[in-house]
Every structure is written in structure tokens, then in C-alpha cells.
């Protein structure tokens, strides 16, 4: 009984301490959650280290290179709002480092910190699916441990108000148990970049399945009165609500990462916005999201890479032809009209009827190519052919392309080009015979004597559409009409 009473007393004290720590959190001395053991800091830029404490107290930070013993010392104090911040000078890739922060009556020590490149990964379920549920799992599990790829998984949660920090989460090193449970696309993307660049790569994964674009958009993208009415009347205690409500995932899963420098962003979302004429709004909304995320990070040219929608099963009777292709088109237009963005096409290496393609490694390889071009300035081919203009000729159509490589080609190279349809003024589309002529595609059909419009891969699951460049990268679905 005595032992039980002691255990109960100890447990009660622990609970009381936790409650007091939460209650007095604004005045307790603490450090940003992302600044934890094994963290990756963005190389070659000033790096902020910050946290919270009692106003007026002094804060000292020591940064030690544990390989060389070199020490840097910084000093500041907690401001009137209870926040402190110290800026480390830019550092090249490398490490490990140790940080010791002394303030008030306690201190923090963070070990095994490295400088490299950090990528923020966000979106819905295709950004969340784990390595164990993707192709190449056995090969991934057998790979040697690599301490230069590190991962931070953000907890799935929403909030009506912007949050200053994550209350859970820490950095994980690359090891078999991590490979089993970490999200596949960020994992393979990080591996691709690390092996090519030979610098530490860190990924912060903030994604939630079945989430709508609106939930990731900042308040600036909405009318203030509309936003207040929606959030005030929502039953926020239901777990499934946050991922549907405007701003709620941005507030809780993105805002706490602001101020933590990153090299760029990768994004995969859109499946939840294919119904109810959402495709017609997606371009404007996605544009607003990108611009506001960049503004919130103070970098109008921050690289933003994203994956175009993969395949889905056959269209159901109540669904429109434009739902899935329409969102793909919106994504394509964003990639063409918003600076410093890049889109990778995925339908050709996805399962014909699975909205969650298991070939995350192949898609990550394309993202890594886009990153090498856009974020690192390498001269690499990272995109398939892009449609430029249409010419109406005598009974046929000529489509002009930028091949973004060494020329147009079907895949396989000896295959018949397929995936094109044309229509006349009656707007009835028919399969077209397609022929490559230089950087042009010439289309004709006996069923359409006077064609005026063309579409390529304009289906929910455009299996068989096979226009590529000679480097093996596919053409995005597109249309020349606006019907």
C-alpha cells in the first residue's frame, strides 16, 4: 500500500507539473520545436534560433562544431512579448554541431545538428502514404543507414487561429524503422537530392489525407466576413472538420514552420477539390496559396514544386468530364504562369484506377529533377513537351510544342502516337491519327473533316497517352478549347 501511495503521489505531482507548465507556457523558457536534436538547418543563409521566456531575462547561445571544437557565442534578451531570437551567421553544409542555450534558471542542449538543405513537404494523402505501402519497400529497407537524410513529421491537426509552435514532433534519423513508417514521397525525394548533392537533406512533412486546398490557404486568400462566419459556425470538435475548413491546416501545420528557413516546397494535393465545379476555382486558389506562403516566408522566389493529379477510376454517371482533367489543367496553368514553380506529371507512371499510386519513387525522381533545375540552377531536362499553339490547316490541325529536350517521341519509340482527340464546331471529339513532324504534331480524323480543337489525355485516367520527349519525360494533359 505504501508503494502504491508513493506511486500515486508521484503521478499526481507529474500531472500537476504538466498542467502548470502548459498554463504558464507563455512565460516558461523554451525553444522552437523544430530546433531539436538531429535537426537540419538551412545552409548558406542566416539561421534564426528562437523561443520564449520571461520578458527581460538574458539568453546566451553557444554553437559548437563537435568535429573541430570551434565555438561561437551569441547573446540576446527576451523581449516584452516573451519572445527571444538569435541569428546564427551563414554556415556551409556540414556538421555535426551542438547548441547550448542558457536562460533564466535552466538551459537547453541540442545535439547532432547539421547544416544542409531543408524542404517543406505538404498536401494530402499522396504526400502522407508510407514507404511500406509503396513500390520498392524491400529495397529501401535494405539500404544502409544514412545520417545525412533526416525527417520531421508534423502532427495532423487543425486550428482556427495561427499557432506559434508545434507541440509535438522531433527530427528522425534514417533507419529501418523510420523507412517503414515515414512518408514515401518525401523519403525518396530526400534520398535523390542527398545522393546527388552530397549534403545533408532535411524534410518537414506537413500533410493530411483528404484535405481540401482551402484548409491550407492563409486568411489573406478569403473575404474576412466569409471566413469569420464559416469558422464561427463550424463544429470544430469533430476531427474530420479541420481538413475541410478554410485556413485551419495552414494555421496549425504551416504557420509554426514560418521563420525556419527552407530551400523550397514540394506539394501534392488536389484530389479533394475535383467535385462541385471546384476545378474552375482551383487555379486562382492555388495561385493565392503559393503567393501567400512565399510572402509569409519573406521570399517571393521560393521554389515551389508540385505533382499533377494522378489517375482515378472510370467516370461515374453523375460526374463531369472536366472534374479530374480540369484540376490538372489548373495545375498546368499555375506552372506556366506563376514564376519559380515547376510541375511534374504523374498519370503515365501511376496505376490506371488508383488515386494513390504506389510508384512514389518514380514521382520523387521527377521532383528531384525539377528541384535540380529550379532550386539549384542545374542545366538538366526536367519537363516533358509543352503545348504552345494550334494552327488550323486544310482538314487537319497542327500543334506546336516546346519539347524541353532533344525532340518529340512516342513511348515506346516504335509505338503509334495516341491520346489525341479532335473536334469540329459541333464539339464532338473523336480519336485522331497523330504524326510527329519535327516539334509539331499533326492531327486528322475522317470523322472530323473540319477540325477546330484538340485535346490530349483529357480523361480521368488517360491510359495509353504516350507523347514524350526523347529524354523520357511526358507531356501534360491539355486542351486547345475552353468548352
21/42: higher pLDDT? 42
pLDDT band at 49 (very low <50, low <70, confident <90, very high): very high
114-134, pLDDT tens digit by residue? 999 999 999 999 999 999 888
CB 249 within 8 A of CB 155: no
Q: What is the pLDDT of residue 6?
A: 46
Last residue within a domain, chosen from 115, 145, 169: 115
- Average pLDDT value over all residues in the chain: 91
- Give the mean model confidence (pLDDT) for residues 88-102: 97
User: Is 343 within a domain?
Assistant: yes
The residue count for the chain: 483
Check residue 145 and give its pLDDT. Answer: 82
- Rounded to 10 deg, the angle between the 323-337 and 279-297 helix axes is 40
Lowest mean pLDDT across 206-210, 315-319, 408-412, 434-438: 315-319
pLDDT over threshold 70, residue 19: no
User: Alpha carbon of 147 to those of 95, 112, 173, 198: distances in Å?
Assistant: 11, 10, 6, 12
Q: Residue 363 in contact with residue 349, Cβ under 8 Å?
A: yes
The neighbouring-strand residues paired with 117 are 201
Regarding whether 35 and 13 lie in a shared domain, the answer is no
**Mean pLDDT in residue range 173-191:** 88
Per-residue pLDDT at 313 exceeds 80: no
- Looking at the structure, tell me whether residues 129 and 219 fall in a common domain: yes
Examine the fold and report which residue of 98, 115, 132 is the final residue of a domain before the chain moves on: 115
What pLDDT is stored for residue 12 in this prediction? Answer: 43
Residue 53 falls within a domain, yes or no? yes
Distance of alpha carbon 283 from alpha carbon 263, whole angstroms: 24
Band (276; pLDDT cuts 50, 70, 90): low
**In this model, does residue 7 exceed pLDDT 70?**
no
What range does the domain containing 57 cover? 28-115
Residue 353 pLDDT grade (very low, low, confident, very high; cuts 50, 70, 90):
confident
The SS3 call for residue 284 is helix
Share of the chain above pLDDT 70, in %: 92
CB atoms within 10 A of CB 100: 16
- Reported as a pLDDT band with limits 50, 70 and 90, residue 217 is very high
Q: In degrees to the nearest 10, what's the CA dihedral of 409, 415, 420, 424?
A: 110
Q: Do 53 and 172 belong to one domain?
A: no
For 446-477, the pLDDT digits (tens) are: 999 999 999 999 999 999 999 999 999 999 99
* pTM as predicted: 0.92
Whether residues 182 and 307 fall in one domain = yes
- Residue 325 scores a pLDDT above 80: yes
CA nearest 244: which of 232, 233, 255, 234? 234
Report, as an integer, the average pLDDT of 156-164. Answer: 93
State whether residue 437 is helix, strand or coil.
strand
Whose CA is closest to 418, among 346, 473, 466? 466
| Residue 318 scores a pLDDT above 60 | no
The verdict on 99 and 166 lying in the same domain is no
At 241 the pLDDT is 82
Query: Is the pLDDT at 376 greater than 80, yes or no?
Result: yes
Counts of helices then strands in the chain (DSSP H, E): 11, 24
- CA 326 to the chain's CA centroid: 21
- Indicate if the alpha-carbon torsion angle 7, 9, 14, 18 is positive or negative: positive
CA-CA distance, 420 to 439, in Å (whole number)? 16
In a domain, 380, yes or no: no
Percentage above 90 pLDDT, the chain: 80
Decide if 127 is inside a domain. yes
Question: Is residue 23 predicted with pLDDT exceeding 50?
Answer: no
pLDDT at 1 over 80: no
pLDDT-derived band at 22 (thresholds 50, 70, 90) equals: very low
Q: Are residues 92 and 198 in the same domain?
A: no
Q: Are residues 210 and 137 in the same domain?
A: yes
Q: Would you say residue 330 has pLDDT above 70? A: yes
Alpha helices in 323-430 (DSSP H): 323-337, 360-374
When pLDDT is averaged across residues 51-79 and rounded to a whole number, the result is 96
| pLDDT attached to residue 15 | 43
Domain count along the chain? 4
Average pLDDT over residues 370-390: 97
- Residues 73-86 have a mean pLDDT of 97
For residue 215, CA distances in Å to 224, 255, 355 come to 15, 13, 20
148 and 181 together in one domain: yes
Q: Which CATH number fits the domain that encloses residue 43?
A: 2.60.40.10
Q: Is residue 379 part of a domain?
A: no
> Both 193 and 304 in a single domain?
yes
| Mean pLDDT computed over 168-196 | 90
Is 36 a residue whose pLDDT tops 80? yes
- Which residue among 115, 131, 153 closes a domain? 115
Asked whether residue 423 is domain-assigned, the answer is: yes
Q: Are strands 58-65 and 83-88 parallel, antiparallel or unpaired?
A: unpaired
Average pLDDT over residues 197-224: 96
Is the pLDDT assigned to residue 97 strictly greater than 70? yes
Same domain? 163 vs 200:
yes
Does any domain span residue 108?
yes
| 8 has pLDDT over 60 | no
- Residue pLDDT, tens place only, 239-250: 678 889 999 999
Amino acid at each position: 500500500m505504501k508503494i502504491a501511495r508513493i506511486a500515486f503521489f508521484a503521478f499526481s505531482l507529474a500531472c500537476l507539473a504538466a498542467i502548470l507548465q502548459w498554463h504558464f507556457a507563455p512565460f516558461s523558457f523554451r525553444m522552437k520545436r523544430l530546433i531539436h536534436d538531429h535537426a537540419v538547418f538551412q545552409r548558406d543563409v542566416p539561421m534564426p534560433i528562437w523561443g520564449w521566456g520571461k520578458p527581460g531575462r538574458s539568453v546566451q547561445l553557444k554553437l559548437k562544431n563537435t568535429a573541430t571544437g570551434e565555438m561561437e557565442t551569441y547573446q540576446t534578451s527576451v523581449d516584452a512579448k516573451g519572445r527571444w531570437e538569435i541569428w546564427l551567421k551563414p554556415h556551409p553544409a556540414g556538421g555535426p554541431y551542438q547548441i547550448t542555450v542558457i536562460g533564466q534558471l535552466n538551459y537547453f542542449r541540442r545535439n547532432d545538428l547539421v547544416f544542409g538543405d531543408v524542404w517543406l513537404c505538404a498536401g494530402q494523402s499522396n504526400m502522407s502514404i508510407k514507404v511500406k505501402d509503396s513500390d520498392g519497400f524491400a529495397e529501401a529497407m535494405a539500404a544502409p543507414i544514412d545520417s545525412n537524410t533526416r525527417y520531421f513529421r508534423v502532427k495532423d491537426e487543425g486550428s482556427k487561429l495561427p499557432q506559434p509552435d508545434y507541440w509535438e514532433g522531433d527530427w528522425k534519423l534514417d533507419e529501418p524503422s523510420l523507412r517503414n513508417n515515414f512518408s514515401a514521397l518525401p523519403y525518396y525525394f530526400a534520398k535523390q537530392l542527398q545522393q546527388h548533392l552530397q549534403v545533408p537533406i532535411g524534410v518537414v512533412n506537413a500533410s493530411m489525407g483528404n484535405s481540401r486546398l482551402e484548409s491550407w490557404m492563409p486568411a489573406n486568400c478569403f473575404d474576412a466576413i466569409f471566413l469569420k462566419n464559416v469558422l464561427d459556425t463550424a463544429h470544430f470538435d469533430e476531427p474530420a472538420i479541420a481538413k475541410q475548413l478554410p485556413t485551419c491546416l495552414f494555421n496549425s501545420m504551416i504557420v509554426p514552420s514560418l521563420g525556419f528557413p527552407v530551400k523550397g516546397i514540394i506539394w501534392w494535393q488536389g484530389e479533394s477539390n475535383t467535385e462541385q465545379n471546384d476545378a474552375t476555382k482551383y487555379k486562382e486558389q492555388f495561385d493565392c496559396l503559393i503567393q501567400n506562403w512565399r510572402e509569409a516566408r519573406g521570399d517571393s522566389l521560393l521554389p515551389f514544386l508540385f505533382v499533377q493529379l494522378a489517375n482515378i477510376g472510370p467516370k461515374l454517371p453523375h460526374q463531369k468530364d472536366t472534374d479530374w482533367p480540369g484540376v490538372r489543367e489548373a495545375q498546368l496553368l499555375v506552372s506556366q504562369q506563376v514564376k519559380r514553380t515547376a510541375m511534374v506529371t504523374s498519370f503515365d507512371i501511376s496505376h490506371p484506377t488508383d488515386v494513390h499510386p504506389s510508384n512514389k519513387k518514380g514521382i520523387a525522381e521527377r521532383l528531384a529533377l525539377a528541384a535540380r533545375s529550379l532550386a539549384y540552377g542545374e542545366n538538366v531536362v526536367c519537363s516533358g513537351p509543352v503545348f504552345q499553339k494550334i494552327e488550323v490547316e486544310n482538314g487537319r490541325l497542327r500543334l506546336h510544342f516546346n519539347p524541353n529536350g532533344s525532340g518529340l517521341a512516342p513511348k515506346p519509340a516504335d509505338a503509334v502516337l495516341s491520346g489525341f482527340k479532335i473536334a469540329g464546331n459541333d464539339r464532338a471529339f473523336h480519336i485522331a491519327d497523330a504524326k510527329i513532324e519535327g516539334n509539331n504534331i499533326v492531327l486528322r480524323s475522317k470523322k472530323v473533316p473540319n477540325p477546330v480543337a484538340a485535346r490530349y489525355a483529357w480523361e480521368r485516367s488517360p491510359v495509353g497517352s504516350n507523347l514524350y520527349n526523347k529524354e523520357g519525360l511526358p507531356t501534360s494533359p491539355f486542351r486547345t478549347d475552353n468548352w
